[in-house]
Structure 1
Amino acid sequence: MSDRPAISLPGVGLLPDDSAVEALIRAEHGDPFSILGPHPDRDGLIIRAYLPNALGVDVLERDTGNRICAMDQAQAPGLYFCRLDIAQPYLLHIRWATGEQITEDPYSYGELLGEMDLYLFAEGNHRDLGRCLGAQVVTLGDVEGVRFAVWAPNARRVSVVGAFNGWDGRRHPMRLRHPSGVWEIFIPRLQPGEPYKFELLGQDGVLPLKADPMALSTETPPSTASIVAAPLRHDWQDREWMEQRGQRQAVSAPLSIYELHAASWRREGGDEGRLYNWRELAERLIPYVQEMGFTHIELLPIMEHPFGGSWGYQPLSQFAPSGRFGTPQDFAAFVDACHGAGIGVILDWVPAHFPTDPHGLARFDGTALYEYENPLEGFHQDWETYIYNLGRTEVHGFMIASALHWLKDFHIDALRVDAVASMLYRDYSRKQGEWVPNRFGGRENLEAIDFLRHLNDVVNVEAPGALVIAEESTAWPGVSKPTSEGGLGFDYKWNMGWMHDSLKYIEEDSINRRYHHDKLTFGLLYAFSERFVLPISHDEVVHGKRSLIDKMPGDRWQKFANLRAYLSFMWTHPGKKLLFMGCEFGQWREWSHDRELDWYLTKYADHQGVQRLVSDLNRLYREQPALHERDCDAEGFQWLIGDDSGNSVYAWLRWSLAGEPLLVVANFTPVPRHGYRIGVPRGGNWQELFNSDAECYAGSNLGNSGTILAESIDSHGEKQSLSLNLPPLGVLILRPA
């Protein structure tokens, strides 16, 4: 074994000056690479390493592992140095009280991130940040390890800490890349699975340890560390789905969405039992969704969030699936399994705001980095969260990259963008004097508008066939119009007006509905001004609003009949469909995120009836072109009866692209209507396809015996008409036989 002596006597440049050493010891040095690691010295090499609590350090030959020399201690305990007379690759052999470690020197590596990466990040156009910043498992030369990179332009010093260095911020201070504000370091031989955080020295002192904004995996709450994730290497089997996705999700295709909260759909052992991981959930959820006939599932946000009671709407890790349900690989397998079963996957995604947890994005480097500095711009009073400063290019690009991460890396089929209204208006939920106008003196948030348009344009290019859906509750014009036409560029907008009006109507006692008849007709005045999704979402069955079945008036029989009629009205109304879990079988209790749905109810006939009705509605919606092809086209809808408030009866036609009609008739009173005449555009027999009052749905089974012959009697502007029996609190669907 070679044992060349190190030159241990201080010489010119051999040791750093005392002030630099003091700064290093106090973990205040902003450029540790200027002191540590290898530094050329004539023909040799000066090596310095700061390893607090090390018992001793040797330098080994990189190729052979032979010992070159022992390092001496410099001015302070833990600071080691030596000089090699020949510059050569080397290893550090470190002796700790807990054992020995052989590793490459992290400070022997040059700059890590390319200039183009840094340029695109600063410009807000880096579309693959999930593989750039954060913790990346990489191989440099022939050395495996982890490259850490984090944006903290106003920090005086940033270190990566974890169990691998005793959570000691003095061990791995990082290199600052000017002018981007990104700090970086490569830690050799570190493996996936290691928890880590960043320790930052702000202008006013050391900040709370921060989780990685770009983390690809996290500890399970209440633990808050990020985890070094292995590269996602799922063997995708959904090529056929991805190739056909654009056609499956075209505006003329059926879109029926089952919205669910992964932690409370089902649990092992029932009610408050263990959460299923993604693979276990897939085994149970996918057959159910297939049986119910939904085309898509929509997951409440599954990005890591510290507080389960936020339902995911206060996420801190915009690139990491929650550790509550397994690994990123598990989530990829879940999406793949859904696609294999012909089910699309939609994620709720939150670019509007983030929580104030000290380990998160809040004042990340000691300054308002991700949020606005002014609380009149940067703090949501309703949710007590911070608002993303989307006018800052790095934040703008961070969120664009997050969207693409889910769409491209996890094959997600659509993003439903939460709280768009709060993003569009600077005075959202604020009183006069509590908001800051834009540069023109207006209330519009121009930076957020630019972001949303950019988001939708980028998704169209980078994830063809994927959808972006807006939860937007105001009358903002052109939400689903192309950006080239001055719109925001979304594919769909949630129709919150329809939801509020129709629920208000159905909650009225049937005897009073005649006075609220316009609640069901008004929505058709604007139904085709946007591409709409009709949402009965989680927000409508919590916080004292009561469950959907419990909103219904009347005795038990009438409640179920009303629910069946309401869902039938929804499925036959223009617009795509969304229904929150539990509504499909009439759960009585309000939804709680802390327990599973009340599945025991599905043993009872009336609950089974609602469940079968939803399944049949989904089947008809998929099979009958008139119910989906022209959901967003005014030519696909025709009123026949919209003014019979005295009987609370409505009738309309839905038209397919081929000109084939479906007749829908709704009676929203518990009074049967016999011989009710309705004009139709075709003669001959009409077939009763569906009756929400059928016995199989636990109804009274009043109907029209399958087929009805049209008569040559003028009615409602048509030359032919049908004399129908309208069931109580029932909806009929008929077509020419």
Structure 2
Amino acid sequence: MTDAKHPPASEFQRLIQGQHDDPFGLLGPRGSGNDRHVTAFDPGAEKMFACTTDARHRLDPVPDAPGVFHGPVPGDGHYWLRGEAKGEHWEFEDVYRFGTVLGEIDEYLLGEGSHLRLWEVLGAHVMQHEGMWGTHFAVWAPNARRVSVVGDFNWWNGLRHAMRRRGATGVWEIFIPYVADGAFYRYEIVGPDGTVQPRKADPVGFGSEHPPANASIVRDISGYGWSDEEWITTRSEAQRRDAPISIYEVHLPSWRRKDWGRPISYVEAARELVSYVKEMGFTHIELMPISEYPFDGSWGYQPIGMFAPTIRCGLPHEFRDLVNAAHLEGLGVILDWVPGHFPSDPHGLGRFDGTALYEHADPREGFHKDWNTLIYNYGRAEVSNFLTANALFWLDEFHADGLRVDAVASMLYRDYSRNAGEWVPNKDGGRENYEAIAVLQRMNTATYGEHPGIMTVAEESTAYPGVSQPVDQGGLGFGFKWNMGWMNDTLEYIKKDPVYRSYHHHQMTFGLVYAFSENFILPISHDEVVHGKGSMIGKMPGNDWEKFANLRAYYGFMWGHPGKKLLFMGQELAQRSEWNHDAQVDWDCLGDARHEGIQRLVRDLNHLYRDTPAMHVKDCFEDGFQWIVGGDQQNSVFAWVRRGGPDDPEVVVICNFTPQEHPDYRMGMPSAGRWREVINSDAEIYGGENRGNYGSVEAHEGEMHGQPAHADVTVPPLSTVWLMRDTD
């Protein structure tokens, strides 16, 4: 039978074979009043009824279409379905009677690739729709022949909840009543060739199973009670170029372990991590990737759930508890963000709808050999929108104060880590990745535009110009850039035996040649204390006393150097072991006074850096720095002056990287008078031997080293001393 209410049998054959791309065109109610008919499909049913409050209407089986039923259901009111088989029965709502959720504006913006609040329309959203509570699912899969939601609410059967295609947008949607927060689900996708793909996690899902399980989980992230308004409205003052910024980098699952080795929870970290970071004087917490990821050993840098805080430490609202607690204590929270690549796990984004959708099809553009990961197709409008919206998501929904963007260099260059013939030039024949550059510029423009006061940071290891310059001036638009050159040079220097340092003096001074070309952060990150590189204390040469003295001197040098600061967890304690993501920070080392001394030094450096305008106001400005002694290779001594505003006391930083004390080191000073010794890394409280200047030095008139005054300073061995002009 074929009529307007009863399509041809061939259509139902495609439906029951899971190959139909328009189930809403076949199923659900047609007509109204006494002319209403319902077509229903349940692959497990032998009988089917449509029930109303006052009647039960039997639906007839459609010939040659097992599980499909059709019949009149007079009236315009609510009905539901009842299936029967083998003496059992079950009742359920007809999902095909519900209208669309996505509106015309959403459809237009999705099709254009300009929906910057993508997470509000795609993914799984608990809502009330047409009088019923349930969950709306929507996913982008433009080349799919059929997309279904499968989950613990439908026996993981892809025939039960096939979705509605929304025109040319490539988006599929469905509203399923009674599916609530906590439901497990995936997408079952039939590719353009009719092949059922591996079941996929939701690219815009808010929750996931605990790895290695990988189903998405419906999470209702609405309704959190933030109490950080004061911080949000004033944070711009704490994140400017002239603000003190000292960042504590944390891999949360291995910062502290709890019962039987489980990672610390977000709720526990809201108390313990926040209080520790505040006590230590840091201004910001930087969390290594929080986005859900399948492999612990990737540390989060191979994410799949870009919109889901990892379940390893708790639920989305609990992650908000951590951010909120940090803000109440005046601490900013920066999240590592990974738009450069994604893993090829079958449940992830790779060949999502049976085609190279999020990635490039050509492996010369779409595959990272170094990491065995896939590269986003940045030139595709929908992919660019996905990434930009994701950046906004973390700032909007979780009140993040900034994003540190991973592996920017790998995005900027098409030939990154590739040999000749293994990459595709840009349209002009060059190596720059114009499309990736445009994505980074779009992301920075959108995030700073939507959330004034935030900061974005680039981990970028090349000399690409204008990384931290505004987009309208031709830059990438980041607020800050990691100074990888400074980090590599100075670590190479400090690892050397002091007897050889004079031959590598330039490694400590070269960074000042370009120190003000970008807004730099000086990073001692996780990458420097893993994979056989040793911990910071492990890098230091000499016997144990010399190791600790070298590290204290280096930290004094780092905090005295222009640039914002970043230190990875555990290195503030001088823990001896490399970082191990399966363990925790070596808190037990604090039973040793030498480790406690390093911790105290880092805390004091942070507080002095924050409280002393000369040490931070002009971190990014050339007139805030002047060499006093830059060429004393023989003694491996360096000295410079830091300046803030006109009325801010200047600070002179002096470093001695040899084990020889210089008891009367004559050097230029910015002015005559008393200069207080505010930091001496050889102080006994830090584990040193208390050699120094008895609290101050007196500078006298008489030009030296280009300065109008001079002083005789005691510079202890392997130490850094800070002298502040006394204004009393």
TM-score surpassing 0.5?
yes
1:240-639 alignment runs, 5 A limit: 240-269=230-259, 273-639=261-627
1:501: Cα distance to partner?
A: 0.3
Q: 1:113 to 1:97 in 2, by over 3 A?
A: farther
- 1:28 maps to 19
Does residue 52 (structure 1) correspond to residue 43 (structure 2)? The answer is yes
- The answer as to whether partners of 2:486 and 2:522 remain within 8 angstroms in 1 is yes
Residue 672 of structure 2 is aligned with which of 680, 683, 690? 683
Cα distance in 2 for partners of 1:528, 1:162 equals 54
- 1:658 maps to 646
1:92: Cα distance to partner?
A: 1.9
1:274: Cα distance to partner?
A: 1.2
Q: Which amino acid aligns with 2:190?
A: L
Cα distance in 2 for partners of 1:720, 1:231 equals 62
1:1-16 alignment runs, 5 A limit: 12-16=3-7
Cα distance in 1 for partners of 2:277, 2:99 equals 52
Q: 1:406 to 1:11 in 2, by over 3 A?
A: closer
Q: 1:712 to 1:118 in 2, by over 3 A?
A: same
Q: Which amino acid aligns with 2:675?
A: W
Cα distance in 2 for partners of 1:485, 1:203 equals 44
Cα distance in 2 for partners of 1:392, 1:657 equals 47
Residue 716 of structure 2 is aligned with which of 727, 732, 735? 727
- 1:640 maps to 628
- 2:31 maps to 40
Segments of structure 2 that go 5 or more residues without pairing to the other structure are: none
Q: Which amino acid aligns with 2:10?
A: S
Q: 1:666 to 1:529 in 2, by over 3 A?
A: same
Residue 170 of structure 1 is aligned with which of 140, 159, 169? 159
- The answer as to whether partners of 1:335 and 1:410 remain within 8 angstroms in 2 is yes
- 1:705 maps to 694
1:14: Cα distance to partner?
A: 4.8
Residue deviations 1:679-726, cap 9 Å, x none?
A: 112111111111000000010110000122212333212232111110
Q: Which amino acid aligns with 1:60?
A: C
The SS at the match of 1:528 is: coil
- Figure out how many residues of one structure are paired with residues of the other and give that number: 723
- 1:231 maps to 221
1:55: Cα distance to partner?
A: 4.8
The SS at the match of 1:71 is: strand
- The answer as to whether partners of 1:60 and 1:68 remain within 8 angstroms in 2 is yes
1:102: Cα distance to partner?
A: 3.9
- The answer as to whether partners of 2:33 and 2:75 remain within 8 angstroms in 1 is no
- The answer as to whether partners of 2:16 and 2:66 remain within 8 angstroms in 1 is no
Cα distance in 2 for partners of 1:12, 1:121 equals 35
Q: Which amino acid aligns with 2:234?
A: Q
Cα distance in 2 for partners of 1:81, 1:137 equals 30
Residue deviations 1:482-504, cap 9 Å, x none?
A: 11111111000000000000001
Cα distance in 2 for partners of 1:231, 1:587 equals 38
Cα distance in 2 for partners of 1:625, 1:719 equals 22
1:16: Cα distance to partner?
A: 3.0
1:97: Cα distance to partner?
A: 6.7
Cα distance in 2 for partners of 1:80, 1:450 equals 52
1:284: Cα distance to partner?
A: 1.4
Residue deviations 1:300-333, cap 9 Å, x none?
A: 1010000010000000011000111111011011
Residue 210 of structure 2 is aligned with which of 191, 209, 220? 220
Q: 1:98 to 1:316 in 2, by over 3 A?
A: farther
Q: Which amino acid aligns with 2:642?
A: R
- The answer as to whether partners of 1:44 and 1:87 remain within 8 angstroms in 2 is no
Cα distance in 2 for partners of 1:16, 1:454 equals 47
Q: Which moves more between the two structures, 453-462 or 303-312? A: 453-462
Cα distance in 2 for partners of 1:627, 1:487 equals 27
Q: 1:528 to 1:192 in 2, by over 3 A?
A: same
Q: Which amino acid aligns with 1:35?
A: L
1:19-168 alignment runs, 5 A limit: 19-40=10-31, 44-61=35-52, 65-75=53-63, 76-95=65-84, 101-168=90-157
1:87: Cα distance to partner?
A: 4.2
- The answer as to whether partners of 1:233 and 1:329 remain within 8 angstroms in 2 is no
Cα distance in 2 for partners of 1:85, 1:166 equals 31
The SS at the match of 2:510 is: helix
Residue deviations 1:438-457, cap 9 Å, x none?
A: 11111110001111111111
Cα distance in 2 for partners of 1:607, 1:139 equals 57
Residue 667 of structure 1 is aligned with which of 650, 656, 673? 656
Q: 1:582 to 1:383 in 2, by over 3 A?
A: same
Residue deviations 1:9-53, cap 9 Å, x none?
A: x67445432211111111111111111101127951120111111
Q: 1:401 to 1:97 in 2, by over 3 A?
A: farther
Cα distance in 2 for partners of 1:718, 1:180 equals 67
The alignment-based identity, stated in percent, is: 52
The SS at the match of 1:275 is: coil
Cα distance in 2 for partners of 1:178, 1:230 equals 27
Question: TM-score normalised to the size of structure 2?
Answer: 0.97
Cα distance in 1 for partners of 2:662, 2:722 equals 16
- The answer as to whether partners of 2:672 and 2:699 remain within 8 angstroms in 1 is yes
1:390: Cα distance to partner?
A: 1.1
Cα distance in 2 for partners of 1:194, 1:681 equals 67
Cα distance in 2 for partners of 1:98, 1:151 equals 40
- The answer as to whether partners of 2:48 and 2:81 remain within 8 angstroms in 1 is yes
- The answer as to whether partners of 1:15 and 1:74 remain within 8 angstroms in 2 is no
Cα distance in 1 for partners of 2:623, 2:166 equals 58
Residue deviations 1:318-365, cap 9 Å, x none?
A: 100011111101101110011111111000000010000000000000
Q: 1:99 to 1:319 in 2, by over 3 A?
A: farther
- The answer as to whether partners of 2:662 and 2:715 remain within 8 angstroms in 1 is yes
Q: Which moves more between the two structures, 84-93 or 422-431? A: 84-93
Q: Which amino acid aligns with 1:722?
A: A
Q: Which amino acid aligns with 1:438?
A: N
